[in-house]
Amino acid sequence: MKEGPATADERRTVKVSKYLSRHLRHSPDRIGLTLDAHGWVEIDALLTAAAAHRFPITRAELDHVVAANDKQRFAVEDGRIRASQGHSVDVDLDLPPATPPAYLYHGTVAARLAAIRAAGLRPMNRHAVHLSPDRETATRVGARRGRPVVLSVDAGAMHREGHVFQVSANGVWLTAAVPPGFLRFPGSH
């Protein structure tokens, strides 16, 4: 059984984080927000929209969620906020290409392995495939959906063959797709 946040403050922080993720990554229009081309929205506009849609957030709560989020899901700059990655709405995060480490990692669950073996990693409803810089992070990502399976991605070979990588402000590596030939499954060599 999963353990949830223990205190009312912790529960509120989780609710605000989920609310921000939903509206900054997937459905800003649901509360009347329009993200700019790079995913940014004015903080005051976000707070006003949230209050108008019966989910008032104080600036102190927002600042706390941004600072305390262990995954650093949000970035704040010049009075604006955006999700660091994971958008299903059309945005260009304007991240420069980056040279990845030799290997990156992807956390998943066993039920998805057959499809991944056949088609590789695809972004699905997101703009890019998300990869972790270490096995521990990938394990935590995979564990959100069940017993985790960690795949190794030969990012160095992909990069040499012309695949473009970017890294978000919170250290998540992004690429358009990972073909099956660049994946190493547990138990394979």
Q: What is the pLDDT of residues 39-48, one digit of tens each?
A: 999 999 999 9
Dump pLDDT digits (tens) for 157-179: 999 999 999 998 889 999 999 99
Same domain, 119 and 61: no
Axis-axis angle for helices 59-68, 43-52 (nearest 10): 110
Q: What is the pLDDT, as a whole number, of residue 189? A: 52
Q: What's the sign of the alpha-carbon dihedral 86, 88, 94, 96?
A: positive
CATH number at residue 55: 1.10.10.970
125 lies in the same domain as 155 = yes
Would 98 be classed as within a structural domain? no
pLDDT at 3: 59
Is residue 90 in some structural domain?
A: no
93: left (phi over 0), alpha (psi -120 to 50) or beta: alpha
Answer whether residue 3 is part of any domain: no
Percent of the chain with pLDDT strictly greater than 90:
77
CA 51 to mean position of chain CA atoms:
25
In a domain, 159, yes or no: yes
Residue 152 · residue 183 · CB < 8 Å: yes
Domain with 45, as residue range(s), is 8-83
Give the Å distances, CA to CA, from 61 to 27, 41, 74.
Answer: 21, 17, 13
Indicate the number of domains in the chain: 2
